Amino acid sequence: MSSVPAMHTVQTRPRRRAPRLRAALPFLAPALLAYVAFVVFPMAESIRLSFFEWSGFVGAEQTFVGLANYVRLFTQDAVFWTAFGNSVIWVALSLVIPMPISLTLAVALDRRLPGRALFRTVFYVPGVLAAIAVANMWRWIYNPRYGVSEGLAQALGLERLQGIQWLGNADIALFAVFVAFVWQAVGTNMVLFLAGLQAVPPELSEAAELDGAGAWQRFWNVTLPSLRPTMVVVVVLTFIGSIKVFDLIVGMTGGGPAQQTQVLALWSYQQSFTNHQYGVGNAVAVVLLVLTAAVVVPYMFWTARRER
């Protein structure tokens, strides 16, 4: 008996959605037009140009070359694979290092502590700074002659850390830039986790405490599962932000030394606007788009399913 109304609901749901969609279209039209003009069209144009050879100059002929730009990327462009590997390392480190730090800070600052608002502000401020300003600040910190890192090494008598070319050494430059990224990203993720912690019912933790659960057990079995939706959002946003990292690399190393801090977004820019190879540059951008879509599209389906 109960299956009949369920089937009726499933069959009539699309019919009910159609009038609602038609009623909403006039209100959605301006935003939809702007989205098509400023997002969909440039994206489609970038994909089209990836199949052409073009210098980017006005009046220069665009020559169709098919998949030649992609073949060149995957078989002849060593810098592309360096950039690809660095982007993968950057994304992996972004998911492993800043997130636990942000979660720890959020849990600590979710408690009633003196100066809690001040600490929240201090940790969040780096997140609102322009990436290029953060890059300039950390270039000064890493300066081997008058930077803060050199001053600390001399003051503490750490001879092994004195005179190090943090941004000039090909073995450590990428990780030195990543430290600046962590400094800037931790605060933003902390705010997201704090918002998620506010939604955790305190009754759950209190009930677990009455059952004899310790602080770690309450965090592991109550708080962390309740933060799962927030965790997914933070992971997706962190992935998107880290796979297209650009400003920090440009401001601190420009991709050097010897292309060892090169990443996909910067290589796409340099191929297009520095080397005037728009076809190859857009092919790199399309690879970046595919990698991003591989994470964002499943997330969108997951979000839509939760909203039903």
Q: CA 274 to CA 134: how far, in whole Å? A: 24
* pLDDT reported for residue 161: 86
Output the pLDDT for position 16.
Answer: 63
What is the pLDDT at residue 289? 92
List the pLDDT tens digit at each of the 308 positions of the chain.
444 444 444 455 555 667 787 888 888 899 999 999 999 999 999 999 999 999 988 888 999 999 999 999 999 999 999 999 999 999 999 999 999 999 999 999 988 888 888 999 999 999 999 999 999 999 999 999 889 999 999 999 888 888 899 999 999 999 999 999 999 999 999 999 999 998 888 888 888 888 888 888 888 888 888 888 888 889 988 998 899 899 999 999 999 899 999 999 999 999 999 999 999 999 999 999 999 998 888 887 887 777 66
Q: Quick check: 188 and 162 in contact, CB under 8 A?
A: no
pTM confidence score? 0.86
Radius of gyration of the chain (CA): 25
Q: Cα torsion for 44, 45, 46, 50, to the nearest 10°?
A: 100
For residue 212, give the 3-state DSSP assignment.
coil
What's the confidence (pLDDT) of residue 229? 86
